[in-house]
Copies of this chain bind each other. A is one copy, B any other.
Amino acid sequence: MILRSIRNKMLCNRTAEQIIIGGKLCNIIENTWVLRKQLRHTVSKLYQPKEITPRDKLETVKKIDESTSRSSRLMKEYGITKSVGNGYFALLPLATRSINKLTKLIDKELENVGCQKIFLPHTISADLWAKSGRLHGMGPELIRYKDRHNKEMILCPTHEETITSIISSYELSIKELPLKLYQIGSKFRGEMRPKFGLIRANEFIMKDLYTFDKDLDSAMDTYHQICEAYKKIFDRVGVPYQRVEGDTGIMGGSLSHEYHYPAGIGQDLLLWCSECSKGRNIEVEQNGESNQVCESCGGKLEETKGIEVGHTFLLGQKYSKVFKANFLGLKGKPETLEMGCYGIGVTRVMAAATEVLSTETELRWPRSIAPFSICIIPPKTGSKEYNTGVGIMEQMYEQLNLHFQDDIIIDDRDKTTIGKKLVEADRTGYPIIIVIGKKSTLAEPLVEIQIPSALDENLRKMEISPQHAVQFLQSIKSDFS
C-alpha cells in the first residue's frame, strides 16, 4: 500500500532511535552503548555552570546584595539560572526542565476544565490599551516603543486588550460559552528595582487565562470551576499556600483571590484566620487598624508575609463593553460577555517554591517540579567496585526508567569523588539520590538511597538491595508527577 511504503520511507531514518528506546533490541547495532549513552542524561554533559560562594564568605555576600534572595543566590551558584541584565534571566537546562514540568502540570489541569491553549503576540498596538483606558493610567512599568512606522507599541504585561479585541471580531454563539482561552508565555514589566531573581523580574513567564460567559451567574460558576483547578494545581505543586481575598487593582472587576506562598521576603502582608483559613491581603489597607478577629468564624487572625504566585479576577464587563465583545443571545440579539482573568506566575512559582523550601546552602524543589527526580551516582571509574557497580546501575536504570522516564540523571564524571558528587547532587536538590558504592560488591549487594527532604527520618538515608530500591522508588513514583 502507498501509505505503508511512505511510512517505511519515513521510518528509515529513525531506526537507530527506535532501537534505543525499545531497549531490548539495542545489541544488534554496533556502537549501541554510545548511542544509548547519548540519550541518557548525564552530569558530564549537563550545562550547569557553578559559581559557589565559599561558606566563610556567605554572610558577606548576603549583606552586600539586598536584591538577592536565598533562592536567587542558590539558582545562580548552582547554574540553574543566569542573570543577563538587571531583572532579566536566562533559564539554563535545569530551570528549563523545571518550568516544562510545571507547564505540563498546569496544561493538564486547565485542559481538564475545558480550557484551550492559544498563543498571543508579546507586543500589541498601544491604541488597544488607550481604548481600555489603561495606557495613560500606567507609568514606566509599562514598556513602550515606536515601531518603524512610528506607531506606539507596548510589550504586554497582560493580555486582556488583545484577547477581548480578538473575541469582539467574531460573533460568538451562546453554545460556544463558556469559552476559556489561555496561554503560557513571557510578560514584561519595567520594575524600578527588580529583585529576588525571578520573583520580581522585568521579564517573566506567566500563565494567563481569559474566560467568557453569557451572564454573571454563569461567570461565577466558571470562576469557581477555575478556582477548583487552581486548588489542584497548587496542591500538586505541593508547596503550602494561602488563598486570600485579593485587591482588584488596575485589572478592575468585582471579585478576586490571590494565592501566596508564605515567605519572609514576601512583598504582601496577609491577614488570615488560623481557624477557617480565610484571609485577605492587607497591603492596601494602609494605616488602618486591622480587625484581629475573623469575620467569618470569629477565629484569631494572624499576619504572614506572602509571595503572590497566582491571582483570579471576576472582571465583569470592563473590557467586553469597551471592545464590544458580544455573543448572540437566545433572542437573536447581541449581548455583552462577562469575563474573568486568571494568572499564575510560572517562573515565580519555581523561584518562590525554592525560596520557601531551600536552606542556606541546599536548593530544595517541590518534587513535582524538580529538574530530575533521581540522580544516580555510580562507582568511581577505575575503582575495584566499578564493573560490578556499573552492572547494577544498568539494571536499576532500565527498570527505574520505565516509571521515571526522561527524569533520571547519572553523574558519570570520571574524575570526581563519590563524596563530592553526593554533596553536589544534594545541593542541586535532586529529591532522590542513589549511590552505588563499595557495598555493591557484597554477596548480597546493597545500594544507598537518599531522600534528603523526606519527613520520615528513616527515608533520608537507606541501605537497601538494588531490587528493593527499585520497588520502593516505583511505589512512590506518583509523588513526583
Contact = CB atoms under 8 A, between A and B. Distances in A.
Contacts of A17: 112
Contact of A96 (B2, B47, B118, B140): B118
Contacts of A166: 82, 84, 90
Contact of A235 (B13, B49, B162): B13
Given A38-B112, A119-B96, A120-B90, A82 B231 contact: no
Interface string A283-302: 00000000000000000000
Interface stretch (A174-182, A305-313, A389-397, A437-445): A174-182
A91 B143 CA distance: 23
A85 to B, nearest CB: 5
A430 to B, nearest CB: 16
B456 A1 contact: yes
A144 B145 contact: yes
When all copies of this chain in the complex are counted, the total is 2
A3 B479 contact: yes
A334 to B, nearest CB: 15
Nearest to A50: B170
Interface stretch (A121-129, A241-249, A271-279, A315-323): A121-129
Interface string A400-411: 000000000000
A181 B96 CA distance: 11
Interface string A25-63: 000000000000011000011110101000000000000
Nearest to A457: B2
Contacts of A205: 119
B116 A479 contact: no
Interface string A162-190: 10011001101001100101000110101
B117 A479 contact: no
B203 A479 contact: no
B13 A232 contact: yes
Interface residues on A, range: 35 or more
Contacts of A141: 148
Interface in A428-481: 451, 454-456, 459, 475-476, 478-479
13 contacts: A1-B459, A3-B451, A3-B454, A45-B114, A47-B181, A84-B166, A90-B119, A90-B162, A93-B118, A121-B203, A145-B155, A148-B192, A186-B186
Interface of A: 1-4, 6-7, 10-11, 13-14, 17, 38-39, 44-47, 49, 51, 79, 82, 84-85, 88-93, 95-97, 99-100, 111-114, 116-125, 140-141, 143-145, 147-148, 155, 162, 165-166, 169-170, 172, 175-176, 179, 181, 185-186, 188, 190, 192, 202-203, 205, 231-232, 235-236, 238, 451, 454-456, 459, 475-476, 478-479
Question: Which 10 A-B pairs give the minimum distances between C-beta atoms?
Answer: A145-B145, A140-B148, A49-B170, A91-B119, A2-B456, A93-B116, A88-B121, A148-B190, A2-B455, A121-B203
